[in-house]
Amino acid sequence: MGEWERVFRQLPPLPPHPQRGRARPSPRSAAFRCVLKYLHGAALAQGAEYQLRLSLFDATYHHFFGRTWRSGWQAARAAPPRSSRATFSETVYFHTSLNHPGIVAVVEVVVKAKKGDEGSQHLSCGFGIIPLFRGRSEATDPATEDRALKLYHGTPRALLHPHFQDPAEKNKYLMVMEKSHLQYALKPHQPLEMIFHLLPENLLISGLQTVPGLLPACGDTSDCFQKPRLMKAVTCYLEQLSVRLYPSLEEFEEELLDFLNSDRLLQANAMPDGEEVAVRERRLHVGVHNGLRFVRVPQVAVLVPETEAVPGGCRGVSGSRARDAGQALVLRSRIHLSEMVPHPAFSVCFQLEYVLCSAGRAGGKAVPGGARGEAADMRSVRWAVWSPGPGTSDTEVVLPLRGGAHRGPCQALVYRMPPSSRSSRQGKHVESGIVQFRVSTDSEEHLVTAAEILCKDRDESEQPPTPSLRVPAPRRVSTSSRGPGLVASPRGKDQTPPQDGGITHLEADLGSPDAEPGASDQLRALPFTPLQVPMAAVGLQAGSSCVSLSRASLARLHAAGFPEILDRNQEPVEISEPVELGSFNPRLEEADPLQGNEIILQFLAFGRDAQGSVEGPWPRTIFLTFQFYRFPPVTTPRLQLVITDGGSVTGLAVPAQLLARVNEDGTLSTRPPGLQLKYMVDPAFLRPGEQRWFLRYLAEHSLQIDVWDGDSLLHVGSAAVKLEPLLRQGQAAVRTYHELEVATTEYEPDGPVLGREALRHGALRPLGVRVAVRGRLHLCLANVGHPCEEISGQLPSQSRIVPDSTVTIPAGSWHSLNAGRGGRTVRARRLVDVDGELEAALRSRRPEGWPKQRAWDLQVIDSYRDHIKGESIYQMLSQAITATRTVHAVLGTAEFFEFALKNPYSIQHTVTIEVDHPELSVILDPREWRHFKELTKSVTPVEEEMFHLRDDLKPQVYLRPSETVHIPFKYQTFSADPAVTAAQGPSGLGASAKTDTPSLGKSGTGRTKLIQVSFQVSGGKPIALLRVKVEPQPHVVDQTFRFYHPELTFLKKTIRLPPWHTLPGTPVGVPGGQPEMFVRCSDPDIICETKSLGPGEPQDIFLKVAGGPSPQIKKFFVAIYTDAWLAAPVQIWQFYLHSLQRLDVTCTAGQLTRLSLLLRGTAAPRRVQAFPSHPQELEVDPKGAFLLPANGVQDLYIGVRPRRAGNKFIYLNLVDVEYHQLVSSWLLCLSCRQPLISKAFEISLPAGGGRGCNKRITYTNPYPSPRLYFLCTNRPDLLQFKEDSFEVAGGEVYTIGLRFAPSQAVGEEEILIHINDHEDKNEETFCVKVLYQ
C-alpha cells in the first residue's frame, strides 16, 4: 500500500450538519491554535492515566462533526493543595468557516481504568465546552493569558439529548465538577492560512503530526504548524491522454445506458415510454490530491472519441493498439499541473464522468433532452490515482481504472466494476479500463522523492551558498512500479506533443515549451490563469442624444413632409429644447391632471456618419426592432432610404436619407415619409399601482433599437435613447428631437496568450474592441397628455409588513367591467366557464319534456350542492385567513417583505412554512435578514436562530400562545422571456403593417403570477395563508453585447469588468476598498461566474454558452452585483448569440482564394441572393438573384481577397428576395497571412488636404514570355492606380503610375501594392511608407 493510500484510508472526518450547508459560508475560514496545558482538580486520582479528546460540535443542530483528536496518556501527579494534576502541553490546530456562535469545541476527559484481570477499559469522567465565536460570528478574543475551563460530570454524549439547551448554563441536568478545571489557551493562528489548500476544513491535527506538502519544523521546535513552510512545487504536463474502457467503448456505454434507463423506469414505476438516456458529454476531472484533500479544484476536460478527434480514422497506429483503434476517449489538449509537490503522498487523481440526458423519439430520430429544457444528469463511472516515482519525467504511464463500492477522492458514487466471470487477454487489472498519458516537465525539472528534497534542503541550510556550475543529468527511463500497470518508454526525437485544439474546459497551454533555464529550478505558479484573454466590457450604452435645432433645420423638417404631432386640442406640439437628464420631479408627475400618456415614436431619417468610414455596404432599405415597456416587441416594415433634392434633411453637417414606406410590389408608398408609432398608456387599463412603475420606467430606462438591412438581413448596428425626455413635468405635451449613433461592436477573434507572453508582466490585457459608428438615426419622441377619469382605490401601500388576515370577497360568477367608473356594471358568465363539472352533469341523461327537465335540473343542482358543500365551506374559511401581497418583480432585484404571523391558539405550536414556488423563499440567515431591513429601513426586530429546518428543508418556527412574529420573505427571479428568438431578422409586420396603438393586453411578458404560502401546524392544519401576487416589470438594460459564433458549439468569453466605482448605481465610500462582485445569469443552462485575479486586481466575467443550430439567436441577461446577498444589481447586461454555419479559410492578403459553398434547397423553390458583410473583400458568384430548386443542391462560388493580415470574421447571408426571409447564414473565419515584401519605398506628403501626389515605380517581368498582371492595394482610399492591369513582354520593364490621395491627419501609413498574375496569385508585393507631415 502506497503512502497516498495510507493517508487517504484514515478515518474520514464527519461533515457538518446538512442544514449548515444551506447557510451562506464565510468568505474566509478562521484558523485556530488551541494549547491544552494541564488538567487540575481534586477529582483526579493520583497515578491514574488520563487522555484528552477534542471534537467539534454544532450546538444548534446537536451534531458532532470533523474528526476527534486524541492526546497521549498522562499520569496524574500530586499537586498542592490536596489535588492532582495531569500535564499534557499539547497543541491542536484547525480551521473552520462555520463562524457561528453555536459552533464549539468539546473536550472529553478519559481515564484508563483496570477491568479485572482482562486488562483495562476507557471511561469518560467529564467534559468541557470551549466557545470559538462570539455573538456576531467573530472569533473569540485572542487573550494572552491562560483560561480555566470548567468541567461537567458525565460524557459529552449528553449534548445529543433533545432537551439540551444552548448555552450550556441553561441546562439544569449538567453538574459542574467542583474544584476541577482544564487550563488551556485558544488563539487565532494566521500562519495556518497559507496551508489551507493542504489541510481540510474541520480537521483537528496536533503540532507533532505532519501534513503532506509541508516541510518539517526547523530549529529547536518540533511544531511544524507554528511557522509552516511549504515544499517547492514542480510543474508537470500530461500529454496524449486517452481512456480505454472494457471491453470496448461502444459496449461499455451501451451497457451503462441500459442500466440507467432501467433504473429510471424502476424509480418512476413506469413502462417503457419511448424515451432513452443519451450521452451528452464525457468529462475527465484531473486534480492533485495529498491524501487529505485536493490541493486545487480539479480541472475539467472534455473527452471525445478517437474517431472524432482524428478525422479520417486513426492513422499511424500500429501494434496492439491497432486492434482497438477508434475505441478510446482522447483529450486534444494537454493538462498543466503547477501544484505538484515531490512528496510520496501527492498523487494525480482522475475521475471519468458522463453527462447524460433523456432523449425522446420523434420521427424515428433521437431528440436530446437539452432541446426540451431538461436538466442533465452526471454520473461518475471510473477513477484512478497515479503516484509519481523518483525520476518520473518524460515517460508514458498506463493506469488501471477503478470503480464500484469503494471510497474515492472525489467523494462520489461510482459505476460498478465488470463481473469477475469476465476475462481479458490484457489481464485482470485492465478489466475496468485504463487511462494512458505521457508525463513531462519543464527543462531542468524532475519529480523526486521527499527524501531528496529534505536532504537538499538540509544541505543548503548547513553549507553557505556558493556559485557553481551544474551539468544537467541525462534523462532516464522510469522503471517505477508504483501502481499496477505502469509502462515506461522513452520519447523519441521525432515525437512532438500534440497540437492544442477542440472543445475543452482547460486553459490553453500558457507555459513556454522551450523555456530558457532561469536562475531558479522551480517556477512560481500563477494564482489564476484565465480561460481566454479578457476583452474589454465595451457595449452599447445610451447617452444624451437630444439635439438643439436651428430655425433653418426646423424649416427643413417641416418641408420634408413629416406628419405633424398634435396635442389633445389638435394643436401642433413644438420641439422643446434639450433638458438636463436626472432633473425630473416625481411629484409633478403624480399631481398632473393629465394622467393619460400617448407616447409617439416618429422615425425620420437615417444617414452615414460624417467622421467614421463605413466598411460594409450602405443599405438600400432598413427595418427596426425594439420593445417599449411591456408592450409586444415591434418589428417595423421595410423602409427605403430616399435621397432628397436638398441632400440634407436635418440641416446638420451629416446628410441623411428619408425613411419612406415600401408597398408590397416594391414601389414607394405615397404616404408621408417617416414611420410613426403610438402607445396609449392609460391608468384605467393599468394594474393598480402600475402608473408609478411606468413613470419610473421612463425616468430610468433607455430604449434599445436595432437597425437591420432590409435586403441582406444583416445587422447594421444598434442605438439607445434615454426615455426621460418623455416625462412631461406638468406640461400638456412634450416633443424632443434626437440624433442617435448607430454603432456596432466588433470583437477580435479569440487568441490565447502562448509561451513567454503569458509569463511577461501585463500580458493578460483586454483585447482590442472596436466600436464602429455605422450611421445616425434621426427620430422624434413625443408624449401627449390626456385626461383620465378618477379610478377607485388607493395605490398599494409602501409598507413591507403584510397583516396576518385579510378577508377577500370571492368573485363568484360575475365579472366586473370598469369598476370604479361611477357605477357597477357586470355581465353573466357561461356555466361552462364557472363550473364545468356541474354543466356536464346537467347535460348527461337529461329526460325529455319541460317539466321533467326542470325537475331533473333542480335535483341535480341540489345533489351537486351537497357534494361540494364541504369544499365550499373550506374555501370560505381559507379566504378568511388569507392575506394578499402584491410584488412588482424586476429581473435580478430582490423584493423583501415581512408577514405578521400570529398564533391564534392558547397553546404553543411549531408552524411549518410551505412555499409552492422556488422564486419565493424564507430568509433563514439573520445576517441576510438584517441586510434587507437596513436597505428597506424596516423597524421590526431580528431574531437569531429563529427557524429550524426539517429533513425536507421546509422551515419551521416555534410560536408561543397568541404570539405574533414577523416572517421575512424574499422574491427574486432571474428568468427572462423570451430566451430564444427563432429567426435572425424577425419576420416583421409586413408592408401593410398598421401603426395603431398597441394594447397592453396582448403582451405576453407581463403575465401575473400567483404564489401560495401555507403556514401549517401539526396535522397539516393551516393557521394562515399568504397569496403573493407577482406583477413582472421591465428591467433596465445598461449594455448590450452581440456575438456571432459557429452553430452547435460553445461560446467561451472572458469579459473584463470595469472598475467598480465607475459602474452606475454603486454606493459611494464603501469601506474596505474594492468590493467583491457577483453575477447571475437569466438562463440556468449558461455557465456564468466571476474570476478575481487577486487583491487590487480587476475582475473578469467568464461565460460559457451552448449555441444552437443556424440561424438561431439566443438572448439572455447577466446581472452584476456588489453585495453578497444579491439585493439589487448595479448593472444588467443584455447578450445576443447568433449561431452561424462556420467556414475556416486560410488565405494571403491581396490574393484571391476561391472556394465553394453547398446550398440545399427547401421544400419549395425560392429566388435567393447572397449578401456578404464585406463585399470589397468577398465576391460571390452568382452576384444577383438566382433560383434555388426545391430540395436540390447547388454550389455558391465565393472568392476571398482580404486587405489586411490577421484574423477576421465575414458574414454571408442567403436571403429569399421575394419574402425577405433568411435561408442560410455563414460565418467565414479568415486566417490571413502577410505576403512577402520584395521592395520598400518611402515618401513624404503634406497633410491637411490638397490635390494629392503622382508617383511612378517600375516593375520588371522576370519571365521570358509576355505576362498579364493585375494591381490591387490594401488602401484604395489612399492610393489609386493609373491602370488596374498591364501586360509586359518577357524581361521588359513597365512603369506603374500611382496617385496618392491627400490625408487629413498627420501620421504614418503603410500601403501595400500587390502585383498578381492572370490567376490572381501574388507575384510580388511592394510596401510604400507614406509620411503625412
Query: SS3 of 53, please?
Result: strand
C-alpha span between 600 and 785 (Å, rounded): 11
Choose among 1084, 1033, 1288, 1175: nearest CA to 618: 1175
Q: How far apart are the first and last CA of the chain?
A: 78
- What confidence tier does 1028 reach under pLDDT thresholds 50, 70, 90? very high
pLDDT at 108: 94
**With b meaning 16 or more CB within 10 Å and e meaning fewer, what string describes 104-113?**
bbbbbbbbbe
pLDDT at 220: 63
C-alpha count within 13 angstroms, C-beta hemisphere, residue 1031: 15
The chain-wide mean pLDDT, for the chain, equals 76
User: Quick one: the chain helix, strand, coil %, rounded to 5?
Assistant: 15, 40, 45
pLDDT at 761: 36
CA 117 to chain centre: 68
**With b meaning 16 or more CB within 10 Å and e meaning fewer, what string describes 1038-1056?**
bbbbbbbbbbeebbbbbbb
CB 465 within 8 A of CB 456: no
pLDDT at 540: 56
390-413 tens-digit pLDDT: 666 678 889 898 888 778 888 787
- What confidence tier does 1112 reach under pLDDT thresholds 50, 70, 90? confident
Helix ranges (H only) for 219-368 are: 249-268, 306-309
C-alpha span between 1115 and 1038 (Å, rounded): 15
pLDDT > 90 fraction of the chain, expressed in percent and rounded: 12
* pLDDT(497) > 60: no
- What confidence tier does 44 reach under pLDDT thresholds 50, 70, 90? confident
The answer to which of 543-552, 694-703, 782-791, 1247-1256 has the lowest mean pLDDT is 543-552
Paired sense of beta strands 1131-1148 and 1039-1046, if any? parallel
Give me the residue label for grid cell 401546524.
1017
pLDDT at 455: 45
- What confidence tier does 800 reach under pLDDT thresholds 50, 70, 90? low
1242-1297 tens-digit pLDDT: 888 887 766 778 888 888 888 899 989 999 998 888 888 888 899 989 888 888 89
665-682 tens-digit pLDDT: 778 888 888 898 988 888
Choose among 129, 92, 88: nearest CA to 108: 129
In this structure, is the dihedral angle defined by the CA atoms of residues 799, 802, 808 and 814, taken in order, positive or negative?
positive
CB 43 within 8 A of CB 177: yes
- More confident call, 716 vs 1035: 716
What lies within 8 Å, CB to CB, of 1002 at 6+ separation is 632
* pLDDT(462) > 50: no
CA 632-637-638 angle, 5° bins: 145
Full-prediction pTM beyond 0.85? no
* pLDDT(248) > 70: yes
CB 350 within 8 A of CB 284: yes
The answer to which of 333-347, 820-834, 1170-1184 has the lowest mean pLDDT is 820-834
Within 10 angstroms of residue 887's Cβ, the number of other Cβ atoms is 22
Query: SS3 of 953, please?
Result: coil
Find residue 1280's DSSP bridge partners. 1299
Collect contacts of 1302-1305 with beta carbons under 8 A, ≥24 apart: 1302/1245, 1302/1246, 1302/1247, 1302/1248, 1302/1249, 1302/1250, 1302/1251, 1302/1252, 1303/1245, 1303/1247, 1303/1278, 1303/1330, 1303/1332, 1304/1247, 1304/1248, 1304/1249, 1305/1247, 1305/1332
* pLDDT(504) > 50: no
C-alpha span between 1034 and 701 (Å, rounded): 9
E strand or H helix at 744: strand 733-747
* pLDDT(266) > 80: yes
pLDDT at 34: 92
The answer to which of 461-465, 1131-1135, 1217-1221 has the lowest mean pLDDT is 461-465
- What confidence tier does 1064 reach under pLDDT thresholds 50, 70, 90? low
Choose among 501, 508, 532, 503: nearest CA to 1053: 532
Listing DSSP states for 1021-1088 in one string gives -EEEEEEEEEEE------EEEEEEEETTSEEEEEEEPPPGGGSTTPPSS-TTSSPPPEEEES-TTSEE
pLDDT at 867: 73
981-1010 tens-digit pLDDT: 333 333 333 333 344 455 554 344 457 889
CA 1019 to chain centre: 43
Within 10 angstroms of residue 205's Cβ, the number of other Cβ atoms is 18
523-579 tens-digit pLDDT: 554 544 444 566 666 555 555 556 666 667 667 777 778 888 888 888 888 887 766
275-294 tens-digit pLDDT: 888 888 899 999 999 888 89
Find residue 1022's DSSP bridge partners. 1016
* pLDDT(714) > 50: yes
62-74 tens-digit pLDDT: 899 998 999 999 9
C-alpha span between 99 and 133 (Å, rounded): 6
Choose among 1300, 1260, 1266: nearest CA to 1282: 1300
C-alpha span between 399 and 670 (Å, rounded): 79
Mean pLDDT value across residues 947-952 = 82
* pLDDT(1055) > 70: yes
- More confident call, 896 vs 994: 896
Mean pLDDT value across residues 942-966 = 87
C-alpha span between 164 and 151 (Å, rounded): 16
* pLDDT(460) > 90: no
| Count of residues making up the chain | 1333
